[in-house]
Amino acid sequence: MNQGMKLTDYVIDYLHSRGTTHVFGMSGGAAVHLFDSAAKHPGVGTTFVAHEQSAAMAADGYYRVSGRMGACIVTSGPGATNLLTGVCCSYYDSVPALMLTGQVATHRLKGERKVRQVGFQETDTLSIYSSVTKYAEQLRDPNQIASVLDSAFAEAEAGRPGPVLVDIPDDLQRARLDTAALPRYVAPAQARTRGLTAQVQSLLKQISASKRPVIVLGGGLSTPRQAGELREFLKNVEVPLLQTWAGLDLIPHDWKHRVGTFGVYGSRLGNFVIQHADLVVCLGTRLSQNLTGGMLSTFASKARIVMVDADQGEMDKFDGHGIEIAERIHCLMGDFLDTAKVAVKQFVAPDIRPWLATIERWRAELPDDIPIEPADEAGFVDAHHFVRQLSDVLADDEIVFIDTGGNLTWTCNNLRVKPGQRVLSAWNFTPMGYAVPAGIGGAAAAPGRPITCITGDGGLQLCLGELATVVRHQLPIKIVLFNNHSHGIQKQTLETWLDGNYAGVDPASGLGLSDFHSVARAMGLSVVNISRSSEVAPRLKEAYAIPGPVFCNVEINPNQKLYPVLKSGAPLENQMPLMPSDQIDALRAVLTTSKDPDNVG
């Protein structure tokens, strides 16, 4: 009888030893041994999803909530390729996640033979994933499994984190191991950036000397999560704060000197602030084009820009392309905040009372782009007002997953985030269909904690089968559908650039959409419908009082626009609906007239 530990048992036990207590996936021939081992492990739970893409997104959501490595298991061929969109979410947002893909037996691999495929469903998984993972390895020797897993975990968590993939042929999954004799890989310790103390001290002196400073909080402060350390830092360095959407839950909405969001779909106030600052300190943000706008030379052109980031390339990418990064501090965000904890004791607060007065004047005088609430007989509600009322019913520890499109924009610009809440999305890859699968992963990471998944009809259509997963496990998820019966953001794009010539964006132009609330009810979900302004508050209270999973169908104005928004070719401070040039000039002039510090609260 073959002695030793079965390889797949070792893999699952290894995951558990590293803190991963749940795996996601979909059964398939080349993955049955991995799932068998997972099912037998007393410390590891499994969630079987309706589509492998959802498994990768669930693993992504698991990490974002718990800070522990997310993992999923799928079979070879189509099982592995279906992970791709979810893996991209993790790669572009710096989320550690482990993809375990089954593969055909080693004697059925095509190797160097000039054929496309030998084994059934054989696919060159490593080539497909090499550009969107930090590490992708096919196991060829069962005795290397410990070393391969060590390497995968080390690479996933080192520097700028990201997903990794281990491809395991079927015959090797069944191999027996002498675990005591397995070679191991020990990753070198990550050295702290040389000269970091001096760089942090210099940065604090620059803030002290500035007249119009602003700190930008980005998603890099959440991978891994540094919210507590960040808040301690900000209590000592009290200057205006801007947030990327990925940094939305780093501070609560009522934090002192919080300005809010900025960028192409951000707030007018945030854009005016960053465009007129004299010092912009970017913590854990790569300054994507959604933040800077397309005209890079006009972004924060009056400011000295300092970037603090774990990825040197993200700080260097602007060289010769319109934005001058005056100073680059290359370090882990945890190291930066640890260093600042000591350096901040010598910090001298700048006198920014005129700057704060200017910001308050802008807050009062900039246009309010929020529509009035529609009359009840309209049969739909306004998205902005809805999100603000949703804020009132969310639990203090709610985890909010947001999909993409209009629902993402309206939520990020209107949600009043509380100190213990999380707000999560696939910020950089932004696929439709992310929120519900990621919410499933979040539920596994924090059992019993309330979760809200906000999605649009386009996004829900892509992951509709996962409603059955939510029901099967009776997850405490409230699914809030922004139902505008179309791909609303695409409609607006076509109106802006192609004279409103719709194609495939609503039923009239060829798009097929489900009767979502009927489907949800058929799958076993409690359903609450909201279609009138007067019923938003009571119906939300009703929905959130129902235990277990609930589907909330919210009828949104099919023609509601995403305003304010920047049209390509314009500077950030001139979003649509466009302001008259004399109004912009008058608002800029406030910089020289806000001289009375006694008016600043």
How far apart CA 264 and CA 576 sit, in angstroms, is: 10
CATH number, domain containing residue 236: 3.40.50.1220
Confidence at 589, pLDDT banded by 50, 70, 90: confident
How far apart CA 268 and CA 576 sit, in angstroms, is: 10
Structural domain ending residue among the three candidates 320, 341, 365: 365
Q: Which of 183-192, 443-452, 563-572 has the highest mean pLDDT?
A: 443-452
Same domain, 28 and 162: yes
Same domain, 70 and 205: no
Structural domain ending residue among the three candidates 181, 211, 231: 181
Same domain, 31 and 143: yes
Q: Domain for residue 190, yes or no?
A: no
* Residue in this structure with the two tokens 């005129």, named with its chain if needed: 354
Domain, as residue range, for 260: 196-365
Confidence at 119, pLDDT banded by 50, 70, 90: confident
Number of domains in the chain: 3
Q: List, in order, residues 6 or more apart from 559 with CB less than 8 Å away.
A: 491
Query: Which DSSP symbol is given to 366?
Result: S
Query: Is the pLDDT assigned to residue 69 strictly greater than 60?
Result: yes
> Which structure tokens are listed for 407?
């629902």
Q: Domain for residue 389, yes or no?
A: yes
> Which of these, 128, 152, 144, lies nearest to 20 by C-alpha position?
152
What mean pLDDT do residues 99-116 have? 94
Same domain, 167 and 34: yes
Encode pLDDT of 378-433 as tens digits: 999 999 999 999 999 999 999 999 999 999 999 999 999 999 999 999 999 999 99
In 108-126, which positions are buried (b, 16+ CB within 10 angstroms) versus exposed (e)? bbeeeeeeeeebebbbbbb
Same domain, 105 and 204: no
Q: Domain for residue 186, yes or no?
A: no
| pLDDT of amino acid 568 | 83
Other C-beta atoms closer than 10 Å to the C-beta of 433 total 26
Same domain, 149 and 227: no
Q: Domain for residue 433, yes or no?
A: yes
Query: Is the pLDDT assigned to residue 33 strictly greater than 80?
Result: yes
Query: Is the pLDDT assigned to residue 598 strictly greater than 70?
Result: no
Q: Domain for residue 494, yes or no?
A: yes
Same domain, 343 and 408: no
Q: Domain for residue 146, yes or no?
A: yes
Same domain, 361 and 380: no
Q: Domain for residue 580, yes or no?
A: no
| pLDDT of amino acid 2 | 53
Encode pLDDT of 138-180 as tens digits: 999 999 999 999 999 999 999 999 999 999 999 999 999 999 9
Same domain, 115 and 245: no
Confidence at 192, pLDDT banded by 50, 70, 90: confident
Are 489 and 562 contacting, i.e. CB atoms less than 8 angstroms apart? Answer: yes
- Express the helix, strand and coil content of the chain in percent, nearest 5 each: 45, 15, 40
Other C-beta atoms closer than 10 Å to the C-beta of 542 total 16
Other C-beta atoms closer than 10 Å to the C-beta of 601 total 5
Same domain, 360 and 380: no
Same domain, 167 and 147: yes
Same domain, 278 and 403: no
Structural domain ending residue among the three candidates 326, 343, 365: 365
| pLDDT of amino acid 189 | 85
- Please classify residue 183 by burial: count the beta carbons closer than 10 Å to its beta carbon, then call 0-12 exposed, 13-18 middle and 19+ buried: exposed
Query: What is the DSSP code string of 276-307?
Result: H-SEEEEES----HHHH-S-GGGTTTTSEEEE
Least confident of 124-138, 244-258, 584-598: 584-598
Q: What is the mean pLDDT of the chain?
A: 95
CATH number, domain containing residue 86: 3.40.50.970
Q: Domain for residue 570, yes or no?
A: no
| pLDDT of amino acid 600 | 41
Helix (H, G, I), strand (E, B) or coil at 107: helix
Confidence at 301, pLDDT banded by 50, 70, 90: very high
Question: What percent of the chain shows pLDDT beyond 70?
Answer: 98
